[in-house]
Structure 1
Amino acid sequence: MKRLLSFFICFGILLFWSSCRNDFEFSPSTGNLEFAKDTIYLDTVFTNIGSSTYNLKVYNRSDDDIVIPTIQFENGINSFYRMNVDGQTGLEGEQEGKFFENVELLANDSLYIFIETTIDISSIGSFYNQFLYTDKILFDAGSNQQNVEVVTLVKDAIFIYPAKDEETNIIETLTFDVDGDGTPDETTLQGRFLDDSELTFTNNKPYVIYGYAGVAEGKTLTMQAGARVHFHADSGIIVTNNASLHINGAYSPNQETLDNEVILEGDRLEPLYEDIPGQWGTIWLYNGSDNNTINYATIKNATIGILAEGNQTSAEDKLTITNSQIYNVSSFGILGRATSITAENVVINNCGQSSFAGTFGGKYNFTHCTIANYWNSSFRDYPALLINDYFIDEDNTIFTNNLTAANFNNCIIYGNDNPEFTIEKQGSVFNYKFSNCLLRFNNETLADTENYNFDNVTHYENNRFNEDPDFEDPFENLMRIGEDSGAISINTITFGVESDILGASRLGAIDAGAYNRTSFDD
């Protein structure tokens, strides 16, 4: 009886409360909506590639519950934009995402509109490589109509992607001689080899690569000054046996736009993705590729910036890289395996593991390079610089290979960890030397051990330790050194690198690293 009485009391309260409510009576909007912004910029997208999702917040500041009769794009069903209003997709059919009716909005409340786009620049009839596409979101009509502009810059591009079997959805993979026995091997790498007509990347349009673009045996891929190359997730370039990569960038007077440099990065152009590591794979200089050259390139946001393997004893270096930058890489900036690399005026920074790792022996000569690591996105296991002459297989068997040379002249090797270089020796031939370098090393456990005897001029000569390099802003990859840098006037010998990465002459008492000292007000 008590339970029944309680039920009737609660029912009566609910009935009384609901009879007093009038907030289900919606009035038509009167053109007094407020918006978080009057223009939605969807930043830059490539033709036929979907954008990120952007949002617009709409406010009803009145004390009345209102209904918005219509929300639609000015271009109607022909709009390249699509939207979602508080989780709703609008009318069905061709108006889905384009047209909404009787959208309710409570008093002093708000709703979200989410906007995306995919635009085919050719369907706009544009004769240019980029086009500013605009539309408006219209709220209501007639005298009550309000609108918000929507703007997107669309870029045309050259797309390189593997074939796909429409029936099986199997994507083409690369087949080439992996083990050097002269017989092509099937791989699981999605991609295809470039046609002869595709072996020169110009600066006319950006290139967007899906999967791995392969350079076949005996071929050379050339990238001209000003080329822009964008990679989709898990994509990259692979240079196979007797093939070469030549990146022929040039100095750019405008350091903001880097017009003449070759820039290699991910295919997401929105500012949110500008500095996100690991968006694409790597530039893979496979065992057997040779005579690879890179000049004035910026390589960023990869998993491994450059992976170079083999050709340790070739007459020409596997890779010669000059006047270039590598940063925001989720693993290694440059990873060498039993290979040969010459680097001059190279800056590497912000890598999830080492900025440069010369592993399983090899031959490395770095001059006036800034090998730094100010990674702060997670814990890293390795220092900015790692040198070793071995690898360990799954059975814990150690294999060694000669380190014929690892010379670092007039370099800065620094970072936000300590120490920032590691020397690991297992074999008998292990030649390395640091000359006129600014080094970060302050470790009592390792100090004075065989590999870190800094009084041994065979391996260390005229170096400075643990002095502030006075970088402009290493966490933002601004690696110029200031007038208080410990790298200033470290030597009078340039080792043949007469200008810094910005083309300024090195005269008199010269500074370590890729940059001459500067005033940051310049």
Structure 2
Amino acid sequence: MRPKIVLFFIGIIMTICSCRSDFETLASTGDLEFSKDTIYLDTVFSNIGSSTYRLKVYNKSKNDITIPSIKLGKGLSSKYRISVDGMQGIEGKIFNNVDLLAKDSLYIFIETTANSTDANASDFLYTDQIQFDSGENLQNVELVTLIQDAVFLYQQRFADGTTETLPIGNEKIDGFYLDENDPVNGNELQFTNDKPYVIYGYAAVPSNKTATFEAGTRVHFHANSGLIVANNASVNINGTRSTTDKLENEVIFEGDRLEPDFSDVPGQWGTIWLTDGSTNNTLNHLTIKNATIGLLIQNNDGTTVSVKNTQIYNSSNYGILAQTAKINGENVVINNAGLASLACTYGGNYTFTHSTFNNNWNSSQQVAVLVSNYILGEIPEAKDLTAATFNNCIIYGSYSNEMSLTKKTGAAFEYQFNNCLIKFDNISNQFTTNPDYQFNTDTAHYNAILLNKDPKFFNISQNKFNIDETSAAFAKGNSAYLIPLDIIEKTRTLPPDLGAYQNKAFPK
């Protein structure tokens, strides 16, 4: 008997389910509700597709309804595309007789690909509507997108289907040489602030040429893209102080995803690579965001890379990775890197003054500053570190020890920290007898060190590393190493504060 009862109920359920698609509906009376009345699709570049945005449509009535029409206001000519509960409709623009159950909802997904010429000439906004027509009451949800024109730089594609590559050592990578006589873009070695640039692949500066970036230039790198400077080539980044929150005079390198959700995502693009043979490189008022390695500097020809008033944030591996390089850094700020904010490795010669190195990456393996004279597996494994000098600097972060010194014998290992605030907690006395970390007694390597004192940065999560009079770094600098102006060109007083910011100097 029991099996018959079970079969009976199964039959009823199957009957109900098989008839579900034939439910009777009433025509919509225009009483739909929406999760938003306006969808703002964040800024996109010309002819580059946007992210997908979502709208939820509610039927809060007690009746199953049919919406006679859901369509884009500009019809088939609209630059928007929508899907309604997975349906594509007519070219993603028009949908007829869409059913919606009582007390239920449906999803509409929205995308756009538009050109700046499609937008309003006055404000570069491209707009449309999703129209819900009940026959009695027309309901609209507004769509708004800012279309930004840009200069696109990318590798050539040849007739045989292959693309342009660059020789790097014994390997080739996807990339191209910047052309000072490009028939479309003109001089690609002169980056201006007229339009942003979008780079696909690695853009290389040709031998004996210089790439110049004027104040206010914006460069957006696609995934696995970057800039390479080698073979007697140079890069000059000529940013200047900005006076507003728009950072109008800063040169900014970042990814090509403009949505707010990507504003702090590390590893969106590759690196700025100053490699073998590059020469006379100068970087001033540069901000680098969300790279894999912010700056990769290798084997300079003996000339010093000048890095001034430069900020590097959210690098998935390193903020600066230097290998057998020569760098002079002033007013440098680096925050958040998966391995090290600053790594001076495989020897070299490095001086950083009035700089702030912080690392709040969520890992116990990260450090703010790493200094070494070797790379395992290289031939030779160790090279001379002739200088690693830090003056009036802050080395801090979320981990107990934010500085690491590692060396191999057989090569020089010269370092010195003068008037620096360093976070280094000798947990369980594991470094008590290590000769490289004798902060209080080794005057040949350490002078006037503030150990494990809180700099009281204004807001680390917003990359605001200014301090005030309550900071342990306040007025603890040595005037012998004074850089007269801080990173935003506020005059330093005497004795100066440690780090890149003079007290109460708020980042723009």
What is the TM-score of this pair, normalised by structure 1? 0.91
SS of the equivalent of 1:418 reads coil
* 1:151-176: CA deviation from partner (whole Å, max 9, x where unpaired): 000000000000123553x2211136
For residues 249 and 515 of structure 1, the distance between their equivalents in structure 2, rounded to whole angstroms, comes to 18
AA aligned opposite 2:211: L
User: What's the counterpart of residue 107 of structure 1?
Assistant: 102
- Distance, in Å, in 2 between the alignment partners of 1:20 and 1:212 is 58
Are 1:301 and 2:293 an aligned pair? no
**Selected match of 1:227 from 194, 217, 224:** 217
After superposition, where does 1:285-324 map in structure 2 within 5 Å?
285-311=274-300, 314=302, 316-317=303-304, 319-324=305-310
Alpha-carbon distance change, 361 to 143 in structure 1, aligned in 2, over 3 angstroms:
same
What SS class does the counterpart of residue 167 from structure 2 fall into? Answer: strand
What residue identity is the alignment partner of 1:29? S
Residues 88-137 of structure 1 show CA distances to partners (whole Å, capped at 9, x for unaligned) of 1113xxxx110111111000111110000111224x27667x71000000
In 2: Cα distance, 1:11 partner to 1:223 partner: 73
Distance 2:236 2:405 in 1: 31
Q: What are the ranges of 5 or more consecutive residues in structure 2 without an aligned counterpart? A: 181-186
Q: Which of 359, 373, 383 is equivalent to 2:359?
A: 373
**In structure 1, what residue type is equivalent to 2:28?**
S
Residue 389 (structure 1) aligned with residue 389 (structure 2): no
Q: Which secondary structure state, in structure 2, belongs to the residue aligned with residue 503 of structure 1?
A: coil
Against the structure 1 CA distance between its residues 487 and 143, is the aligned structure 2 distance closer, same or farther, given a 3 Å change threshold? same
Q: CA deviation at 1:148?
A: 0.4
How far the C-alpha of 1:10 sits from its partner, in A, is: 3.1
Deviation at 1:44, TM superposition (A): 0.1
1:117 aligns with 2:109: no
What residue in structure 2 maps to residue 453 of structure 1?
Answer: 438
Match of 2:455 in 1: 469
User: Which among 144, 147, 151 is matched to residue 151 of structure 1?
Assistant: 144
Change in 2 beyond 3 A, CA 1:12/1:247: closer
Tell me which residue corresponds to 1:191.
Answer: 175
1:349 aligns with 2:338: no
1:241 to 217, 220, 231: 231
Following the alignment from structure 1 to structure 2, what is the Cα–Cα distance between the partners of residues 12 and 210?
Answer: 60
C-alpha distance in 2 between matches for 1:481 and 1:151: 40
Aligned in 2, Cα 1:506/1:15: closer, same or farther, shift over 3 Å? closer
State the Cα distance separating 1:432 from its structure 2 match: 0.6
Letter in 1 for 2:436: N
**TM-aligned CA deviation for residue 12 of structure 1:** 6.9
Does residue 214 of structure 1 match 2:204? yes
Q: Structure 2 vs 1, CA of residues 399 and 232 (structure 1 numbering), >3 Å: closer, same or farther?
A: same
Distance in 2, Cα, partners of 1:367 & 1:125? 47
Identify if the C-alpha distance between structure 1 residues 380 and 310 changes in structure 2 by more than 3 Å, giving closer, same or farther.
Answer: farther
**Counterparts of 1:21 and 1:49 in 2: how far apart (Å)?**
41
Report the aligned-residue RMSD. Answer: 2.3
The verdict on how the C-alpha distance between 1:6 and 1:382 changes in structure 2, with shifts beyond 3 A counting, is: closer
CA drift of 1:352 comes to: 0.8
Which residue of structure 1 lines up, in the alignment, with residue 422 of structure 2?
439
User: Which of 395, 398, 403 is residue 385 of structure 2 equivalent to?
Assistant: 403
SS at match of 1:472: coil
- Structure 1 gaps of 5+ residues are 179-184
Q: Contact (CA 8 Å) 2:385, 2:414: kept in 1 or not?
A: yes
Q: Could you list the per-position Cα deviations for residues 3-31 of structure 1 after superposition, in whole angstroms to 9, with x for gaps in the alignment? A: 88447633675599789999811111001
Q: In the alignment, is residue 512 of structure 1 matched against residue 498 of structure 2?
A: yes
Instruction: Give the partner amino acid of 1:70.
Output: S
Alpha-carbon distance change, 27 to 429 in structure 1, aligned in 2, over 3 angstroms: same
In structure 2, the CA distance between the partners of 1:100 and 1:22, relative to structure 1 (3 Å rule), is closer
**Structure 1, 440-449 or 340-349: larger mean CA deviation:** 440-449
Q: Contact (CA 8 Å) 1:468, 1:486: kept in 2 or not?
A: yes
Counterparts of 1:12 and 1:265, CA distance in 2: 61
Is the contact between residue 132 and residue 139 of structure 2 (CA under 8 Å) also seen in structure 1? yes
Q: After the TM superposition, which residues 24-103 of structure 1 pair with which residues of structure 2 at under 5 Å, given as runs?
A: 24-91=23-90, 96-103=91-98
> Is the Cα–Cα contact under 8 Å of residues 341 and 365 in structure 1 kept in the other structure?
yes
Identity %: 50
Confirm whether residue 422 of structure 1 aligns to residue 404 of structure 2. yes
**Partner SS for 2:29:** coil
1:506 is displaced (CA, Å) by 1.1
Report how far residue 294 of structure 1 moved: 0.5
Are 2:155 and 2:164, in contact at CA under 8 Å, matched by a contact in 1? yes
Is this contact kept in 1: 2:120–2:126, CA < 8 A?
A: no
Cα pair distance change 1:463/1:68, threshold 3 Å: same
Equivalent position amino acid for 1:311 in 2: N
Question: Does residue 171 of structure 1 match 2:170?
Answer: no
Q: CA deviation at 1:296?
A: 0.4
Contact 2:119–2:125, Cα closer than 8 Å, also in 1: no
Measured in 2, the distance between the counterparts of 1:304 and 1:340 equals: 18
Deviation of 1:269 after TM superposition, in Å, equals: 0.5
Q: Which residue of structure 1 lines up, in the alignment, with residue 183 of structure 2?
A: none
Contact 2:68 2:135 in 1 (8 A): no
CA shift for structure 1 position 408 = 0.1
Q: Which residue of 2 aligns with 1:181?
A: none
Offset of 1:240 from its aligned partner? 1.1
Supply the distance in 1 between the matched residues of 2:19 and 2:281 (Cα, whole angstroms): 80
Indicate the larger mover: 194-203 or 421-430: 421-430
Q: Give the aligned length.
A: 498
8 Å Cα contact 1:350-1:475 kept in structure 2 = no
Residues 46 and 115 of structure 2 are in contact (CA less than 8 Å); yes or no, is this contact kept in structure 1? Answer: yes
Given residue 67 of structure 2, which amino acid in structure 1 is its aligned partner? I
Indicate conservation of the 8 Å contact 1:483/1:519, yes or no.
no
Rate the CA distance shift 1:511–1:103 in 2: closer, same or farther, 3 A. same
User: In the alignment, is the contact (CA less than 8 A) between 2:132 and 2:140 conserved in 1?
Assistant: yes
Cα offset, 1:85, TM superposition: 0.6
Between the aligned partners of 1:267 and 1:77, the Cα distance in structure 2 is: 28
Q: 1:300-329, CA deviations, whole angstroms, 9 ceiling, x for partnerless residues?
A: 0000000000026x1x30x11101100011
Given that residues 227 and 263 in structure 1 are in contact (C-alpha distance below 8 angstroms), is that contact kept between their aligned partners in structure 2?
yes
1:50-104 Cα shifts (integer Å, max 9, x gaps):
100000000001000001111100000110000111111113xxxx110111111
Q: Equivalent residue of 1:242, what SS?
A: coil
Superposition deviation, residue 424 in structure 1: 1.1
When structure 1 is superposed on structure 2, of 232-241 and 11-20 the one drifting more is 11-20
AA matched with 2:223: A
Q: How far is the alpha carbon of 1:407 from its aligned partner?
A: 0.4
